[in-house]
């Protein structure tokens, strides 16, 4: 397969590296210093899946450097969610009849933005819950793995068999991956987790485990999740759980204990003065709520506080 | 006049010192180390009003140490707002036919709590907007002065002439003080200021001036103030401003610029691991809103976040 990784940061580089090693033709588009290092020294992947250095010559900084005659089977978008629209515009000219455009991003709204440019037939949602850290140009580390990557079409598509094949190829390359007919549910499940934990943990500067221990933070998580469920219901978005209380049991009973010592990358972004992905998480709930007339004051207050911290 | 200061911390000690110096008979009830230092070395008041050391022998740690035969003209309550109920219970046996009980505290709800114990006839509200820091046992510093102390009865009272006299005596003693028929409006005006600024400034760890500069924090202040106005209206509580937008003009145009570099004492309390007065400020708005069926989600979220920080 011909595969383009657009936004080859931490996560994107790992997908590019593994697929390239599995004899697919991979092009990376990323930041200059990282791309130069990859071209010159190869990509070094360290961490829990072992260490490997992968020769990866097609590492460029913009799509205009890619030869026009290549037809990509898949374009994987792994930019931060606030850059999705620009990414989708840039890759749009590369989308041919059978090209899949795969979002491996955080939050909700990414697949809609991609579909605006590429069409729903081509748009594939991905849910990634493993962690990669960017150490230096040319070097990334896989730090934590939770569950398989899930890939699927948010809307029925004639390309679904090809997406199924892509999932098999990624899985064979070494990154556990499954095809699903329920990708939206997976994306929303990750959203619920991120919406409930990331901003509170960032605001209070505490690990996730703290949030489950205190009455006020449990209440805040309940209110955030409750608003998410109301918004999802108002848009007829199906979730894995019927009621918010069902999800809260999973969150406090299983998910938080498994990641009790974790701090969100959102907190790191704030400390580094970088923007966060809050607008694709709690901010996206507020936007969707406005469209359907569902009030989301807790998510809105939290999102505004995070924005205020970003700009401090 | 015979005057009891119940809760002789920073603010209370200054009132006690000035009144004692003006030849009133003042009793202080306060923490042991501070009271011992005052008895032994006198009270040292430094700061913007000059330096003086005041002999103040009647400094005790509980009301049971006060001779039974003293009839107090005024009992000034200057404990933190979360201790008002206990304070009101303790001073209740000392309230005689003509005793005024004066709250010089932050937030709303204090006069109601005092009236529960002492009755509305005896209850006097106070609005203090000058700052005192407690430096060491026996030593306080007046650091900032904004406007006169205002005293008045929240409900019509046969003791209003006596309150007018008390205001004159405090003023003559050296603390600028006025009697007012509109004390509730003054107390609510201070509440609006504290509700809009203190918790946001504490959460974001920024001075007040920052809050007016950023779009998100302006919006949060508007929402907090808007909920306060809705709650006040639902309880038919008169305010100095007809609409929340009128108050916002005063807040951002005059009040914030005058205190742009200030950090709230709430932030100091959090850093020291002490409880805050949030329940008498934003928390009180939430409670009043619940009583009248007015939603206050922004104040509630903010108050819950502060409580989560308090316990960290």
A311 pLDDT band, cuts 50/70/90, is confident
A83 pLDDT band, cuts 50/70/90, is very high
CA atoms within 13 A on the CB side of A168: 7
With beta carbons less than 8 A apart as the criterion, state whether A299 and A282 touch.
yes
More confident of the two residues A312 and A21 = A21
Per the structure, the count of domains in chain B is: 2
**Same domain, yes or no: A176 and A189:** no
With beta carbons less than 8 A apart as the criterion, state whether A220 and A228 touch.
no
Alpha-carbon dihedral sign for residues A179, A185, A190, A193:
negative
**Same domain, yes or no: B203 and B240:** yes
What the block records as the tokens of B139 is 């030593």
Q: What is the pLDDT of residues B207-245, one digit of tens each?
A: 999 999 999 999 999 999 999 999 999 999 999 999 999
How many Å apart are CA A189 and CA A186, to the nearest integer? 5
Choosing from B158, B181, B204, the residue where a domain stops is B181
Q: What is the mean pLDDT of residues A199-228?
A: 97
Planar angle of CA A135, A14, A157, nearest 5 degrees: 140
Domain of B233 in residue numbering reads as 185-310
How many Å apart are CA B37 and CA B46, to the nearest integer? 16
Choosing from A151, A166, A181, the residue where a domain stops is A181
The verdict on whether A274 is a catalytic residue reads: no
* 3-state secondary structure at position A102: strand
Question: What DSSP element (H or E) covers A27?
Answer: strand A25-29
Chain A / chain B CB contacts < 8 angstroms: 65
Mean pLDDT of chain B: 96
Q: How far is A260 from chain B (nearest CA, A)?
A: 15
With beta carbons less than 8 A apart as the criterion, state whether A151 and A180 touch.
yes
> Does the CB of A45 have a partner CB in chain B at under 8 Å?
no
| Residue B195, C-beta contacts closer than 8 angstroms, at least 6 positions apart | B224, B225, B228, B281, B282, B285, B299
Among chain A residues, the shortest Cα distance to B302 is held by A301
The CATH number of residue B284's host domain is 1.10.1040.10
Please report the pLDDT score of residue B230 as a whole number.
98
Q: What is the pLDDT of residues A161-207, one digit of tens each?
A: 999 999 999 999 999 999 999 999 999 999 999 999 999 999 999 99
How many Å apart are CA B110 and CA A290, to the nearest integer? 39
CA atoms within 13 A on the CB side of B106: 25
How many Å apart are CA B28 and CA B6, to the nearest integer? 6
> Does the CB of B220 have a partner CB in chain A at under 8 Å?
yes
**Same domain, yes or no: B164 and B52:** yes
Strand partners, A52: A45
Catalytic residue among B80, B162, B185, B190: B190
**Same domain, yes or no: B175 and B286:** no
Ramachandran quadrant class, A133 (left: phi over 0; alpha: psi -120 to 50; beta: rest): beta
Is B204's CB within 8 Å of A305's CB?
A: yes
**Same domain, yes or no: B150 and B190:** no
For residue A312, the chain B residues in CB contact (below 8 A) are: 204, 206, 210
Tell me which DSSP letter residue A72 carries.
P
Mean pLDDT of chain A: 96
Planar angle of CA B10, B191, B283, nearest 5 degrees: 95
**Same domain, yes or no: B51 and B165:** yes
Q: What is the pTM of this model?
A: 0.91
Q: Residue A177 CB: number of other CB atoms within 10 A? A: 21
| Residue B13, C-beta contacts closer than 8 angstroms, at least 6 positions apart | B5, B28, B30, B34, B38, B43, B45, B132, B134, B140
* Strand order from edge to edge, sheet including B130-136: B52-54, B43-47, B139-145, B130-136
Query: In chain A, pLDDT over 70 holds for what percent of residues?
Result: 100
Q: What is the pLDDT of residues B65-110, one digit of tens each?
A: 999 999 999 999 999 999 999 999 999 999 999 999 999 999 999 9
Q: Residue A161 CB: number of other CB atoms within 10 A? A: 10
Choosing from A162, A181, A200, the residue where a domain stops is A181
Please report the pLDDT score of residue A144 as a whole number.
87
Strand partners, A179: A151
CA atoms within 13 A on the CB side of A293: 0
Among chain B residues, the shortest Cα distance to A206 is held by B312
**Same domain, yes or no: A76 and A15:** yes
**Same domain, yes or no: A164 and A260:** no
**Same domain, yes or no: B125 and B197:** no
- Distances A8 to A38, A75, A266, B104, B304 between C-alpha atoms, Å: 11, 11, 19, 61, 39
For residue B311, the chain A residues in CB contact (below 8 A) are: 214, 216
What the block records as the tokens of A218 is 């449990």
How many Å apart are CA A183 and CA A164, to the nearest integer? 12
How many Å apart are CA A212 and CA A147, to the nearest integer? 22
Q: What is the pLDDT of residues A237-289, one digit of tens each?
A: 999 999 999 999 999 999 999 889 988 989 999 999 999 999 999 999 999 99
pLDDT of A97 above 80? yes
- Distances B144 to B29, B201, B250 between C-alpha atoms, Å: 24, 19, 20
CA–chain centroid gap for A102, Å, is 10
> Does the CB of B213 have a partner CB in chain A at under 8 Å?
no
Is B220's CB within 8 Å of A297's CB?
A: no
B311 pLDDT band, cuts 50/70/90, is confident
**Same domain, yes or no: B126 and B223:** no
Catalytic residue among A80, A162, A185, A190: A190
**Same domain, yes or no: A231 and A286:** yes
* Partner residue facing B308 (CB), from A214, A304, A311: A214
pLDDT of B312 above 80? no
The CATH number of residue A65's host domain is 3.40.50.720
How many Å apart are CA B266 and CA B244, to the nearest integer? 24
Burial A12-21 (b: 16+ CB within 10 A, else e): bbbbbbbbbb
SS (H, E, C) chain B: CEEEEECCCHHHHHHHHHHHHCCCEEEEECCHHHHHHHHHHCEEEEECCCCEEECCCCEECCHHHCCCCCCCCEEEECCCHHHHHHHHHHHHHHCCCCCEEEECCCCCCHHHHHHHHHCHHHEEEEECCEEEEEEECCEEEEEEECCCEEEECCCCCCCHHHHHHHHHHHHHHCCCEEECCCHHHHHHHHHHHHHHHHHHHHHHCCCHHHHHHCHHHHHHHHHHHHHHHHHHHHCCCCCCCCCHHHHHHHHHHHHHHHCCCCCCHHHHHHHCCCCCCHHHCHHHHHHHHHHHCCCCHHHHHHHHHHHHHHCC
Planar angle of CA A210, A215, A217, nearest 5 degrees: 55
With beta carbons less than 8 A apart as the criterion, state whether B151 and B167 touch.
yes
What the block records as the tokens of A24 is 């697919």
How many Å apart are CA A305 and CA A310, to the nearest integer? 9
> Does the CB of A216 have a partner CB in chain B at under 8 Å?
yes
Residue A194 phi, psi dihedral angles, 5° rounding = -65, -40
Burial B23-49 (b: 16+ CB within 10 A, else e): ebebbbbbeeebbebbbeebbbbbbeb
Please report the pLDDT score of residue A124 as a whole number.
98
Please report the pLDDT score of residue B53 as a whole number.
97
**Same domain, yes or no: A15 and A120:** yes
Nearest to B175 by CA among B139, B202, B207, B145: B145
* 3-state secondary structure at position A249: helix
């Amino acid at each position: 397969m011909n595969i383009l990784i657009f936004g080859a940061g931490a996560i994107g580089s790992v997908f590019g590296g593994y697929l390239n090693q599995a004899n697919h033709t991979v092009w990376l588009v990323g930041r200059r210093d990282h791309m130069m290092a990859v071209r010159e020294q190869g990509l070094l992947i360290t961490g829990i899946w072992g260490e490997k250095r992968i020769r990866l010559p097609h590492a460029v900084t913009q799509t205009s450097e890619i030869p026009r005659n290549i037809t990509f089977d898949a374009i994987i978008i792994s930019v931060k969610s606030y850059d999705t629209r620009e990414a989708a515009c840039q890759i749009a000219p590369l989308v041919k009849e059978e090209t899949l455009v795969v979002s491996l991003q955080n939050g909700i709204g990414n697949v809609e933005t991609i579909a605006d440019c590429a069409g729903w037939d081509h748009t594939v949602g991905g849910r990634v819950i493993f962690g990669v850290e960017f150490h230096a140009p040319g070097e990334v580390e896989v730090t934590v793995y939770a569950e398989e990557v899930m890939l699927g079409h948010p809307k029925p598509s004639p390309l679904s068999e090809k997406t199924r094949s892509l999932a098999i190829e990624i899985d064979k390359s070494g990154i556990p991956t499954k095809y699903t007919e329920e990708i939206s549910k997976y994306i929303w499940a990750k959203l619920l987790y991120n919406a409930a934990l990331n901003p509170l943990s960032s605001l209070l500067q505490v690990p996730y485990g703290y949030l489950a221990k205190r009455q006020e933070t449990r209440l805040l998580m309940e209110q955030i999740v409750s608003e998410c469920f109301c918004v999802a219901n108002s848009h007829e978005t199906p979730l894995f759980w019927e009621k918010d209380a069902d999800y809260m049991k999973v969150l406090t009973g299983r998910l938080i204990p498994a990641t009790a010592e974790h701090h969100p990358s959102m907190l790191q972004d704030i400390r580094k003065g970088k923007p966060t992905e809050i607008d694709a998480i709690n901010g996206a709930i507020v936007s969707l709520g406005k469209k359907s007339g569902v009030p989301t004051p807790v998510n809105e207050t939290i999102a505004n506080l995070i924005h205020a911290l970003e700009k401090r």
